Amino acid sequence: MLGYQFHELRPDRDKRTPFERLLELFTEVVTHTSGDVEEAMDWMRTLDEQHGLTEPDYTLDDFYEDLKAKGFLREATGPGEGGVRLGSRGEQHMRKRALDQIFGNLKKGTQGRHRTKDRGQGDEPNEDRRAYRFGDKLDQVDFSASLRNAQINHGIGALSGRGGFRMTEDDLVVEDREFRSTTSTVLMIDISHSMILYGEDRITPAKKVAMALAELVMVKYPKDTLDIVVFGDDAWEISVADLPYLQVGPFHTNTVAGLERAMDILRRKKTPNRQIFMVTDGKPSCLKEADGYYKNSFGLDPYITGKCHNLARQCRKLGIPITTFMIATDPALQRFVSDFTEANNGRAFFTGLQGLGDTIFADFERNRRGPAR
């Protein structure tokens, strides 16, 4: 009897080039440095000294030159810029890597669009079958199932030609289809100082989620829109290209300003589905009023929280659900988020940093189910 003897397990070697291996690490590091290339390279040099990342025939200097040659970095030429900055290819690579890290399970899916709960003459076929109804399109007919029905209903001769082929309207089977819907999403990101307090970096995971969501929308759902609003003492819009450079500031948390800006954006959208995702770790502590800022960092201020609840109810009337991703564990703050969510009839997830991306993706897909058109 012929057999084989295995005596040594040799795991697959890393087949990536030195540039590809270093690029993966560099992308992670430059995310933490908020797009500061020089600081990221300093980190890389320290890691190289400690862990021997490079070989004599391919040094960090070689890697740095390749980054520029391949378009991942560019010489800064704009007003007030200096040194080297991320190039457009580098920014896109950061988004793509964030998408792969957070939403890697997307690659296992077979469908490429958002499903809705509505059936009929939609866009996307599913496994359900039903009898033909007047008005169904020809490309919905399941011919295999229809021929099988003809054979069952009219005998073998219906298919063999003996006695003539016979198929009636009652034999036809069509595949049900699901409507695909477009959605406008505003992602609100808290950039108050508490996002880096207590020795925990909360802004980097939030930034990764934003980059991944942006890449997801651009690649998989190009008809959707994604706007990004950051809020501290005030609230303002940023572009997708700004995400790698996002940093927290010495700010309080003006949730009201963020919600008002998000609502203004969504009022201008004509899509059937509109939604707000809010990533925050703390309580609202700031308002902008006619004579300046009203700030209160001590506890939950009813004056501030009341305005938040009013906006939540306004969004509900406009049909804009708010999904809040709370990444802090303070019981009082969680109660506020629960009350806020009830006022909007939205959703809240009290998630840690580890599962933030998975949770946002799951709810993004869920919220896109909209009415048939």
Residue 316, C-beta contacts closer than 8 angstroms, at least 6 positions apart? 343, 344, 345, 346
Both structure tokens of 247: 């940093």
CA 314/CA 10 separation, integer angstroms: 62
Residue 45, C-beta contacts closer than 8 angstroms, at least 6 positions apart? 60
The CATH architecture annotation of domain 183-367 reads 3-Layer(aba) Sandwich (3.40)
Both structure tokens of 206: 């939030």
Give the pLDDT confidence of 43-88 residue by residue, as tens digits.
Answer: 999 999 999 999 999 999 999 999 999 999 998 876 666 689 999 9
Question: In the chain, what is the greatest distance between 2 CA atoms, to the nearest angstrom?
Answer: 92
Amino acid at 124: E
Both structure tokens of 180: 């695909």
Query: Can you tell me whether residue 174 is helix, strand or coil?
Result: strand
> Which candidate, 39, 9, 40, places its Cα nearest to that of 24?
40
Query: What number is the average pLDDT over the span 243-263?
Result: 93
Task: Please spell the DSSP secondary structure of 25-78, one letter per residue.
Answer: HHHHHHHHTTT-HHHHHHHHHHHHHHH---BTTB-HHHHHHHHHHTTSEEE--S
Predicted TM-score of the model (pTM): 0.70
Give the pLDDT confidence of 325-367 residue by residue, as tens digits.
Answer: 887 778 888 889 899 999 999 888 776 555 565 566 556 656 6
